[in-house]
Chain A
Amino acid sequence: MIDFISADQATLDGLTRKDTRSGFGQGLLEVGQSNDRVVALCADLTGSLKMNAFRDTFPERFKQAGIAEANMMGVAAGLTIGGLIPFTGTFANFSTGRVYDQIRQSVAYSGKNVKICASHCGLTLGEDGATHQILEDVGMMKMLPHMTVIHTCDYEQTRNATHAVAAHDGPVYFRFGRPKVPIITGADTPFVIGKARRVMTGADVTIVTNGHLVWNSILAARQLAAEGISVDLLDMHTIKPLDESALIESVSRTHCVVSAEEHQRNGGLGESVAACLARHQPTPQRFVAVNDSFGESGTPAQLLEKYGLGPSNIVEACKEVIAVKQGLPA
């Protein structure tokens, strides 16, 4: 992996950019090839979810559900009876809020081995606007007993996570996105559900992040390094179960934390981080997240900036929380 602090700008600019949803599409094809119990359903968004390759390779194991997501979740629950492993595909909005009761009763409460694969999450869906930019989905899903919640940061991680999701026994909410973002993990970087990935080691402040905000956090860490501040950066791709030991280990060295995510502050990763630390190791925290508002139309970059999720926002939050730490009695 690149040393993101010492790398020059040309190296970063030269990183291959791909969408996470394409990593899902490739991963789904691969798990379909290695496990004939894997089946897939899609609610009229096969191209958007990049499920075409699976559909064309395994037509018998692909079920078109039409624009009827509630039914799709129930069908997926039923497909597990008999030992199949269904992956549902639609936008994050239609994968969660629209079908919450179906997931709650037929999937989570019933303990069904359904993989809810949700693309186009968050603000970076872009121009379609707030109707489609769900920012509450992680909160809804992490509250459900039995549910595992995963949000990936790049193409390779999403591809690798698809294998881990298929191998995991139990319902999973698997969240990824639309835009092309730099590939920062390797094809063989291990993906272990519930184990945070350390992006860089530092001493002054912990950043806990996931999804598209991993990249923005790397950019923030570079700016901070230039000012002599070193960041301990954790990619917390699994929000539930949270890797509490990695988090506690990090803040026990840095004594302050910034959470950064493309989600509402209420119900998101930062809230899980705060709940963990409140119980085990009370620590000053700042939240980089959408603050109780809906999104709007715009380009992904414009929206991340307007809603305070850019690298400069993360830099500012780190400086703030370091100041809080320094003001505390030793």
Chain B
Amino acid sequence: MSENTPHLPDLCTQVRRDIVRMVHGASSGHPGGSLGCTDFLVKLYFDEMLISPENWNMDGKGEDLFFLSNGHISPVWYSVLSRRGYFDVSELATFRKLNTRLQGHPATEEGLPGIRVASGSLGQGLSVACGAAQAKKLNGDDRWVYTLHGDGELQEGQIWEAALYAAHHKIDNLISFVDWNGQQIDGAVEDVMTLGDLEGKWRSFGWHVLECDGHNLGALDVAFKEARAAAGQGKPVVVLMRTDMGRGVDFMEGTHKWHGVAPNDDQLAEALGQLTTPLSDY
């Protein structure tokens, strides 16, 4: 990134402001997981991926690719994409409104730069990423493919079909992250449908498994470096990223209750009061 790139912690705070403002503006959306994955996505887009937003195209040859499989956390992705230059930040105000390119769940239909496949119906992104990673190999393109998944999303069977496929085909240019916040709409993942030994599951499916703190930019930096060091050796890599749903807004933190609920005017004011930054709102 250029020397004009804002300080990443400030960006994280600004993205969190965008998230709560977008969801409030639409009176709908998913703030909890969005806030929880903010640090990861800011780090990914501003410090890890080789991308050229100004020359965005669907094929992304010679670039790193990212697939958001848990599409309901679209607010954080839209905010990060716009602040990274894929489209103007003013467009964030159209989130979830009629005729917007910022659909409730990410879509390609309206041509929003940065999005390569629709997501929302859960469990499909890992398969798509496997295909995109294999296309890179067939095209002689040595860049990386990253994905993000919710932990609740791992209850979908297709995830494990894709996990088998990636290991069998030695898709080692694929690095997946799990938003391991332990929460889903109906409650704690442990209560809804336990994932059991998640690390052991991925390992037994043939993946290289790492863990990290998803809110510590230094820890994320180490995780990215370790993931890329472990990749390229015949195995896909998954990073189990410990996060808090609702991170950064105290009354939203650590509970499933803000998975898909918009703040009212008072709650918005309270949230923004906790999120101060030298950057500007859209």
Contacts and interface: CB of A to CB of B under 8 A. Distances in A.
Contact of A106 (B60, B128, B164): B128
B259 interface: no
A71 B127 contact: yes
Interface residues of B, number: 38
B139 A109 contact: no
A102 B117 contact: no
Nearest to A83: B59
B116 interface: yes
Contacts of A78: 117, 127-135
Interface in A103-119: 104-106, 109-112
* Size category of the binding interface on chain A: 20 to 34
Contacts of A60: 138
Interface string B108-128: 110000001111110011111
Nearest to B61: A82
A190 interface: no
Interface in B160-197: 161-162, 164-165, 168-169
A41 B141 CA distance: 21
B65 interface: yes
Give the one of A66, A82, A86 with max B CB within 10 A: A82
Nearest to B159: A71
Nearest to B131: A78
A79 B168 contact: no
B109 A83 contact: no
Interface string A91-110: 00000000001101110011
Nearest to B158: A70
A250 to B, nearest CB: 35
Contacts of B121: 101, 104-105
B103 to A, nearest CB: 10
Contacts of A104: 121
Nearest to B119: A105
A79 B134 contact: yes
Contacts, number: 120
A71 B141 contact: no
Contacts of A84: 135, 138-139
B128 A77 contact: yes
Contact of A110 (B117, B133, B134, B165): B117
Contacts of B134: 63, 75, 78-79
A82 B139 contact: yes
B85 interface: no
Contact of A74 (B60, B158, B168): B158
A74 B61 CA distance: 19
A12 interface: no
Contacts of B120: 105
B72 interface: no
Contacts of A102: 124, 127, 158
Contacts of B119: 105
A61 interface: yes
B157 interface: yes
A42 interface: no
A77 B117 contact: yes
B118 A110 contact: yes
Give the one of A68, A74, A104, A105 with max B CB within 10 A: A74
Contacts of A105: 118-121, 124
B122 to A, nearest CB: 10
B118 to A, nearest CB: 5
A68 to B, nearest CB: 4
Interface in B135-149: 135-136, 138-139, 141
Contact of B117 (A66, A70, A112): A112
Contact of B162 (A63, A71, A76): A71
Given A68-B165, A110-B108, A111-B109, A81 B116 contact: yes
B51 interface: no
Q: Which 5 A-B pairs have the closest CB atoms?
A: A78-B131, A74-B127, A82-B135, A71-B161, A68-B161
Interface of A: 39, 60-61, 63, 65-66, 68, 70-84, 86, 101-102, 104-106, 109-112
